[in-house]
Every structure is written in structure tokens, then in C-alpha cells.
Amino acid sequence: MSMESAAGRGLAAPRPRPERTIRAQRALDILVRSIVPVLLALAAGAILLLALGRDPLSFYRNIWDGGVAAGSWQDSAIAMAPFLLIAAGLTLIFRANIWNLGYNGQFLLGAALVSGYAPSLVKDVPLWLAFTLLFLLSGAVAGAWTLLPAILKARFGTNEIITTLMMSFIGIDLASILIKGPFHDPSTPLPQTAVIPLNKMLPSIPGTRIHIGLLVAIAAILVVHYLLTRTSWGLRLQIMGANPRAARHFGISLARLTVVSFLASGFLVGLAACADIMGLWGYIRTGWNPAYGDLIIPFVFLARLNALAVLPFVAFFAVLYTGGDLAAQQANLPTDFLYILVGLILLFMTVIEYLGRKRALGASYLTPGLKQSLRSGLIRRRRAK
Amino acid sequence: MSGANLASGIGLLSPVSSSRPSTLIELRGITKAFPGVVANDCIDLTLRGGEIHCLLGENGAGKSTLIGILSGLIRPDAGRIAIDGVETAITSPRRALELGIGTVHQHSTLIPALTVLENLMLGDSRTLRLNERAARSRLADLSAQLSVEIDPDARVADLALGHQQQVEIVKALWRGSRLLILDEPTSMLTPQGVAELAKVLDRLKQSGQAVVFITHKLHEALTLGDQISILRQGRLVGEITPEEIRTQSQAELRAEIIRIMFGEEARSVAGVAELREELTSLPTTGHRSKSGDVVLELRKLTVRGAGSERGVDDISFQLHEGEILGIAGIDGHGQRALAEAIAGQRHPSRGQVLLYGAEVTGLPVSARQKLGLRYVTDDRLGEGIVGMLPVSLNLFLKRIGEPPYWRRGRIQRSVIDKRAGELVREFDVRTPSVATRVATLSGGNIQKVLLARELSFNPKVVVFHKPTYGLDVKTTATVRELIRRLAADGGAALVISTDLDELLEICDRIAVLSRGRLVGTVANGPDAAEQVGELMIGDVPVEEAA
């Protein structure tokens, strides 16, 4: 009963019963699909820890201690800022059924430019202006880095998965060249940029250590959610993602929409880079590639490409990420153990997706467009009769 | 070349004789229903060795289903198949091949990047190791028997379509076929290619091979066939026996087949009677003279096809106010290119589209939509709707961003839901609510959603593409009535349909589209069916220099 009322929230008029039970069922399915893979991954991780001769309970307690307890939640919140911004950028473009997988290159290029220009900029202009310029610069550069794949996709239908990945590699190396070359801090032989003074970095939210990049990130999530659910642009984007042929039928300009959504996605990834450098690191050196996007992607899908649902998942992951470091050290495991947990979540998502298809476990993680393209071969054959 | 040699090569056992050859495969009472349509209704067919059996029929007559059943792709709901007198179930395409049934499908199944030999060896999954030498000699044998020249090492992509088809035939014969099925083999060929195919078929026939030849071209059936079976709406409605073919003149046979395919006799046979009754009971506006002003004009419109789909060439016509103009033709002859160019979804390479005398050729879909030029697509599920969106939004997908439904880019849900509710009532869309996902509706209700979208907000000229395809009798009647009402209210309709009965029912004039060209226009009247039929069959030569 309580489940039904929870599912019926947001419905003004009373509906006939079947509709309500369907909605309740759907809500339950979403819950099952979103939470169960995480729980299974934690359980499997525990078994793995046991097999390695570690105590899983103390491992997970250490994650709690390192990621939530005693003010360490603030570290998790700091880690959330770039995660959320990347998740916003990916949610947006995945909804269009476009796969921007070049986030690492986009991120590092933005980060390199921010680290390169920030030291002088924060000295020369008012801080608020410097921050604004740096955010815009980082966003613009990362956005521009998607332009080539975007145009190729819009004009020739080139597979963006390949082009964005290629551009990502180029971007990573270009960032490294910039750090060693024009942005190199002459005062150190290490290949790194000059360190931004602590008092010139992004200010904290009063009463915490959390920099205001988190607010930018939450704002970005809300904007993306608004765009996708309330605006004509978001509707066009989703139609393109769900059924590009229909989009053409409705007179939607696919080419323009493709380019714009690429730019928007890259821009958000660029904001993530600026927030991370200006809020947390203060400089960049070569070889640094946190690959946040790779870690975030599973959670974007667990949230079913719903921008608001991304918030709790990213928060969960931020705790895992922050506390996991400490827990792994104490258990004498490499910090890469975290990647195993993320991999397990992905694995169980796949299992649930498979079971879901067999037993109608509600909506899929995949977008309608992606499912369509996976299935289209089959459909064509069926129509041929 | 000796007959024995031929027979051993193709895997044939019975000798060639001048009397009626022996029965190879017998179909009895084959029935297959798909949701909403009986594709094959109690079909009996006897296929004999050394005979070319032509299956003639319009689109949707059930030809493809029948060959699907023979080639193991489709299991029949009822009926028996006997091979050499033994009742046999053709359970899979592989089983069909083992039973000696080879099929050449309408569209190429060869892999363009591989060589001829590689393509042929693909089917040889019996052994793990590919035996190239044996394959080479097998190919040499078969091409000698068909007396065609096939280069085993040529890449398929480099071959002309006619040669590709020869490879397809060899592939179908590869494992010792006794029955060869050719599905519209001439549709892609030049006249020379057709002549060459005829020679190959003749040789196959002499070697005792049974051939099923599917076509909708009458003259091919008459020149190539030993026996002709005519299908219509899933039923076998007529047969021309070898005796008749031998004894009667071509003209007599033609007249008879056209009568069976399109004439009154067929219409009553095929059970359209009840539909006609229902339709005539509705008030009709009657056929008007085309005195109205020209509302839509096409001038020498040429549209390139997309991929394997055919485009249209040099199309000109005028549509008048209050008129319903039909475009008849066999599916895939450029209908989609024509419709999409008028709707603005596709850019013509040459020519003009004029609406009320003003050119709209360069205008996008939304602008034409606002001017009252609408398009009801034939591909309802594929492009007409976005299944995951609710009925309400689907009704406004051609007006995204327009006030009052969107204001400053922000959706006005209550305005949309209110107007959607009115449209749902007006067009009698059966849906639990306007918030229901449109994909859950039935085909007929989805079509009503499309009609509500295109026929609301002051429609002027509406292109209907197969408007009643796959709909039940009642919805069909509703749709046709809507088209009539549009014309009666001073609009104009262009109805593109492969269903000739439909066009005869509602149109004032019927133009015939064949191979991407308009080959003639017929005023609707008592002889219209036969005239359109002749134009459609394409015996009126429209030969281009090949």
C-alpha cells in the first residue's frame, strides 16, 4: 500500500487501479534494477575479500570511516564535484543516443589549460572574474575537443565511439605536451605547472572544507534535468535518441542537434576539470589522468540516464572512492581494489539486464535508441516476411 | 552435353520426358495467419520437375509467405507438404536445403566483400575445413550446366547485378537442389539480364529442375511460365494450366489474368465484399470534376533514392482543391521518395514543389506543416510515433517549441494535455488516458493518433501514404471517410497506396507510378481497374536505354 502511494506521487488526478498498479510495479522495478546490482557487488566483493584472507566487515567499516564518519564526508563531497559535472555531461548526450567516450581527453585538456593560465590570471584580475573565465575557458576547450567527432557524426554518420576515443588519446597527449612546454613551472624540474596559492583557489562553502565547485555541479545537474524534462530542446534531443527516423519525420535538424549536444557535453566535462583543479589540486603534472568518467559511467546507467537520480548514486560512489583508499591501505590491498568493485557493479548490471529481459524486470538501463539499434537487425528480418 | 550428366550434376533423378512431368512437391491446404491478416488461406499447389511454376500476385497477396514456408523460414499454421509423396515438415532453412529446396531471395544475400568462391563455400558448414579445390570444380560443373561464365575469384561487389544473381542461383543449386525458388528475380535486372536469366531457367527446366518463379509482371509469367498460379489476398484465386498456355493466344491469356487479378470476379472471391458494403453504406461525397484551383503542383521532380530504395524521376502532376488523387503502383517503385519530398523530409535533386502556386521546395518540414501541407507516413511505428512518449506529446511532435504548447522553450503540460484530450475524443483514439505511452496502443489507434496530428490545425493538402495498411475493416472505413471529408471541406488529398481497391474506392483520378516514373493517369470510372492494372503490370513499354 505504501509502495503504491509512493509510486503515485506527482499524479494530480486519481487514476484507475490498473494504471496505478502498473506504476507501482514500475517503481519497484526501478528500485530492484538500481539497488540490487550495487548490493550484489558489495556481497561479491565481501566474498572476494574473504578469499584474500581479509575481513570484509572491517573493510567496509573502514570505507565508512574514511568516506562518511568524522567529517570525512566532506572529502567525499569534494570528490563529488567533478563526478557530478561529468555525469551531467554524459547523461545529456547519452539521452541523445550519442556516445561521447572522449571525456578523459576533454577533461585533461581543460585541466591543463586551467592549470596553465590560472596562476597568472588569479594574480591579475579579481578572483570572481578569474574563476568565471577559467570555468568558461575549460568548458570551451573541452567542448571544442568534441567538435571534430560531432561534425563527422553529423555530416557523415561516422561512429562517434571511435572518433571520440581517438580524440581522447590525442587530447591526453596534447595536455601532457602543454604541461611540459608552455605551462611548465620554471621553478621546478618536475613536469608540472605552477601551484596556485591556496588563498586563490575556489572558496569553501561557509562552515565546511567543501569548495563551491560542488554547488556549480549540483546546479549543472539541475539545469540538465530541467532541459531534458521541461524544454522543447530536451524533447527534440530525446526524440533523436529514441528514434532518429521519427526525428527526421518531425522536421528536427539532426545535424545541428548532434553538434550542439556534443558541445554541451564537452562543456560540462570541461567544467568538471576546472572545478577539480581550482577546488582541489591547484596544479597538474604530466601522467596524471584520474579517468573519472570511466568510474562514473556505470552510475550514470544505474541512474537510468535520469539526471536527478545521478545525485544519490554519485554520492554513494564518492564515499566508496574516498573511503576505499583508506580501507584498501589498511587491508594491505592495492587501491585498484576499488576498480574491482566498480567492475562487479557493471557485471551485476549486465546480469540484471539479462534477467530483466527474460522476466520483465521493468525498464532497461539502455536507452530506447540503443536498444533499437541493437535490435534493428532482428526487426528488419521479421519485416522481410 | 548429355542429359545424364546434367541430371547428376544438379542432383536430379527423373528423366526428362515430353509428357507432364512427375509431381515433386505437393502443398495442400497451407494456411498461415499473422496478427490481423491471413497471409495464406488454404493454398493448394503442385510443383513438378522440369516445370516453371509462376506465382503471380500483387503485394500482400501472400507470395512471400508461401515461399517462406517452402524455404523453411515460416512454419504454416495448417496444411500438409508432401515431397515425393511423403509428408514432410520443412522445419528450418537448413532442412529445406537438405530436402533440395534452394531459394534465391529478392535481395542479395551474398557478402559483397568476399569472392564468389568464398560466398559459395560459406554455406558448406558440413566440414570444418574448407575444400577449395572441390568447390572450384563444383562451380565449374554448375556454370557449365547453366552455360554461364562465373569468375570464382571475382569479388561479389565488382559483379553486375545480373551476374550476382547467377551466383545466387549457383548458390541455391550448390547442395543438389531439386526445387529452385526465385523471388522476383527480374526486379533488379536490365532487359538483357532478364533475357539471360530466361536462358538459364530454360536450361534448368530441361535438366528436370522444378522452378517456382515469383513475379508481378504479367508478360514474364506468360513468356517463362509453364503453369501460372494467381494469388490474391492470401488465396489462390486462379490457375492457368500448361494446356491453356499452349492453346490460347497471349492476348486471351492476358485478358483472363488481368480479370482474375484486378477484376470484379477476384474482388468477390477475395472477400472484399463485406468491406465494400460497409463503405458504400457511408455517405460519400461522390466523384467531383476537377474544377477547383490547383493547390499542389509538382514540376519535373526528381528525388534520389536512399540506399537500395528507389527514387523518383521527372514527376509532374497537379492536385486540385477538393480532389483526391491516387498514386497506384507496386511497392518500392519510388512511393516513399515521392511522399518524403513533398513533405519536406527529403531534398529533391531537381524540380519544384508548389503549394498554392508558391514554391515550397526549400522549406523544412515544420514550415510546410504550418502552411497546411501534411504527411501521414506509412511507417507508423518506425517514424510516425515515438513509442516511449505519451499519446499527448505524440500529438504535438510536429509543433515542438510552438506557442501556446511551449512558451520560451518551456513545455506547457496542461495546455497540451487539454488539447490532446480534445483531439483524442474528436478522432476517437481508444486510449486509457492521454498519458499512456503511445507504443502500447493498437495499430489502428496509433494510425488515429497520426491522423489527429496531421488533420488538426487547418490541414490543406495531405499526403496519405498507405493510410489503411494493416488496419481492420472498421478503422479502414473511418480513415477513408476522413480522407473524403478533407476533400469535401475544400482540402485536397494525395493518396499513395498499393491497394488498388482502396484507390478505386475514394479517388477522383489515379496516377500510376512505375520504376520511379508516372506512367499514366486514369480518371476513376468503370474501366479504371483494368486500365490501372495494365499500367501497373508495365506491359506498356517504358524501356530506358540500358
- Give the model's confidence band at A95: pLDDT under 50 very low, under 70 low, under 90 confident, else very high: very high
Do B118 and B61 share a structural domain? yes
Say which CATH number the domain at A235 has. 1.10.3470
Among A231-245, B19-33, B512-526, top mean pLDDT goes to: A231-245
Give the range of the structural domain holding residue A95, as residue numbers without chain letter.
56-373
Q: Are residues B533 and B262 in contact, defined by beta-carbon separation less than 8 angstroms?
A: yes
Query: What 3-state class would DSSP assign to B449?
Result: helix
Do B201 and B249 share a structural domain? yes
Can you tell me the distance from the alpha carbon of A16 to that of B406, in angstroms, rounded to the nearest whole number?
Answer: 29
Question: Given B442, B457, B472, which residue is the final one in a domain?
Answer: B457
Nearest CA in chain A to B342: A249
B385 in contact with chain A, both atoms CB, cutoff 8 A: yes
B355 DSSP β-pair partners: B296, B358
Q: Does some domain include residue A277? A: yes
Report the first-to-last Cα separation within chain A, whole angstroms: 47
Query: What 3-state class would DSSP assign to B91?
Result: coil
Q: Are strands B294-303 and B350-355 parallel, antiparallel or unpaired?
A: antiparallel
Q: Does some domain include residue A378? A: no
- Give the model's confidence band at B264: pLDDT under 50 very low, under 70 low, under 90 confident, else very high: low
Fill in the amino acid letter for B244. E
Q: Are strands B23-34 and B78-83 parallel, antiparallel or unpaired?
A: antiparallel
Q: In angstroms, what CA-CA distances link B543 with B191, B314, B316, B329?
A: 8, 15, 19, 17
Q: What is the ipTM of this complex?
A: 0.77
DSSP B29-88: EEEEEETTEEEEEEEEEEEETT-EEEEEE-TTSSHHHHHHHHTTSS--SEEEEEETTEE-
Q: Does some domain include residue B380? A: no
Do B487 and B543 share a structural domain? yes
Angle at B532 between CA B241 and CA B500, to 5 degrees: 85
Note which residues in 302-331 of chain A have CB less than 8 A from chain B. none
Can you tell me the distance from the alpha carbon of A27 to that of B12, in angstroms, rounded to the nearest whole number?
Answer: 63
Q: How many CB atoms lie within 10 A of CB A189?
A: 8
Q: Are residues B189 and B165 in contact, defined by beta-carbon separation less than 8 angstroms?
A: yes
Do B147 and B29 share a structural domain? yes
| Range in A68-77, B287-296, B317-326 the model is least confident about | B287-296
Q: Does some domain include residue A13? A: no
Note which residues in 73-102 of chain B have CB less than 8 A from chain A. 73-74
Contacts of A97 in chain B (CB under 8 A): none
Instruction: Give, as one character, the DSSP assignment of residue A231.
Output: B
Q: Does some domain include residue A283? A: yes
Answer with the residue of higher pLDDT: B278 or A321: A321
Can you tell me the distance from the alpha carbon of B75 to that of A229, in angstroms, rounded to the nearest whole number?
Answer: 46
Question: Given B203, B238, B269, which residue is the final one in a domain?
Answer: B269
Chosen from B397, B410, B463, B469 to mutate, greatest number of chain A CBs within 10 A: B397
Q: Does some domain include residue B279? A: no
Contacts of A239 in chain B (CB under 8 A): 386, 389, 397
Do B317 and B463 share a structural domain? yes
Can you tell me the distance from the alpha carbon of A103 to that of A85, in angstroms, rounded to the nearest whole number?
Answer: 11
Can you tell me the distance from the alpha carbon of A86 to that of A291, in angstroms, rounded to the nearest whole number?
Answer: 11
Q: Does some domain include residue B220? A: yes
Give the range of the structural domain holding residue B55, as residue numbers without chain letter.
24-269
Fill in the amino acid letter for B319. L
- Give the model's confidence band at B16: pLDDT under 50 very low, under 70 low, under 90 confident, else very high: very low
Q: In angstroms, what CA-CA distances link A128 with A4, A138, B425?
A: 48, 15, 56
Q: Are residues A221 and A87 in contact, defined by beta-carbon separation less than 8 angstroms?
A: yes
C-beta atoms of B345 and A248 within 8 A: yes
Q: How many CB atoms lie within 10 A of CB A219?
A: 14
Crossing angle, helix A254-276 and helix A127-145, to 10 degrees? 130
pLDDT digits (tens, 9 = 90+) for A276-310: 999 999 999 999 999 999 989 988 988 888 899 89
Residue with the three cell numbers 488516458? B433
Phi and psi torsions of B236, nearest 5°: -85, 110
Which of B378, B394, B485 shows the shortest CA–CA distance to B431?
B394
Say which CATH number the domain at B482 has. 3.40.50.300
Residue with the three cell numbers 467531383? B288
Q: Does some domain include residue A25? A: no
pTM here is 0.69
Domain count, chain A: 1
User: Is pLDDT above 60 for B242?
Assistant: yes
Can you tell me the distance from the alpha carbon of B63 to that of B193, in angstroms, rounded to the nearest whole number?
Answer: 23
Domain count, chain B: 3
Do B433 and B328 share a structural domain? no
Residue B437: per-residue pLDDT: 87
Do B465 and B451 share a structural domain? no
Percent of chain B with pLDDT over 70: 84
Do B151 and B70 share a structural domain? yes
Point out the residue among A230, A246, A250 whose CB comes nearest to the CB of B411.
Answer: A230
C-beta atoms of A230 and B410 within 8 A: yes
Report the first-to-last Cα separation within chain B, whole angstroms: 33
Torsion angle defined by CA atoms of residues A364, A365, A368 and A369, in that order, rounded to the nearest 10 degrees:
-150
Q: Does some domain include residue A80? A: yes
DSSP A78-129: HHHHHHHHHHHHHHHHHHTT-----HHHHHHHHHHHHHHHHHHHHHHS-HHH
Q: Does some domain include residue B18? A: no
Q: Does some domain include residue A285? A: yes
B248-287 burial string, b = 16+ CB within 10 Å, else e?
A: eeeeebbebbbbbbbbeebbebbebeebeeebeeeeeeee
Do B366 and B220 share a structural domain? no
Which of A296, A266, A261 shows the shortest CA–CA distance to A369?
A261
Q: What would you measure as the largest C-alpha separation in chain A, in angstroms?
A: 73
Q: Does some domain include residue B8? A: no
B464 DSSP β-pair partners: B376, B495
Q: Are residues A111 and A286 in contact, defined by beta-carbon separation less than 8 angstroms?
A: no
Q: Does some domain include residue B386? A: no
C-beta atoms of A249 and B65 within 8 A: no
Question: Given B210, B237, B269, which residue is the final one in a domain?
Answer: B269
Do B41 and B80 share a structural domain? yes
User: Is pLDDT above 90 for B244?
Assistant: no
Q: Does some domain include residue A380? A: no
Query: What 3-state class would DSSP assign to B355?
Result: strand
A375 in contact with chain B, both atoms CB, cutoff 8 A: no
Q: Does some domain include residue B514? A: yes
Do B465 and B340 share a structural domain? yes
Residue B258: per-residue pLDDT: 75
Q: What is the mean pLDDT of residues B291-310?
A: 85
Chosen from A11, A238, A239, A243 to mutate, greatest number of chain B CBs within 10 A: A243
Q: Does some domain include residue B385? A: no
Instruction: Give, as one character, the DSSP assignment of residue B282.
Output: S
Do B333 and B193 share a structural domain? no
* B496 CA to centre of own chain: 13
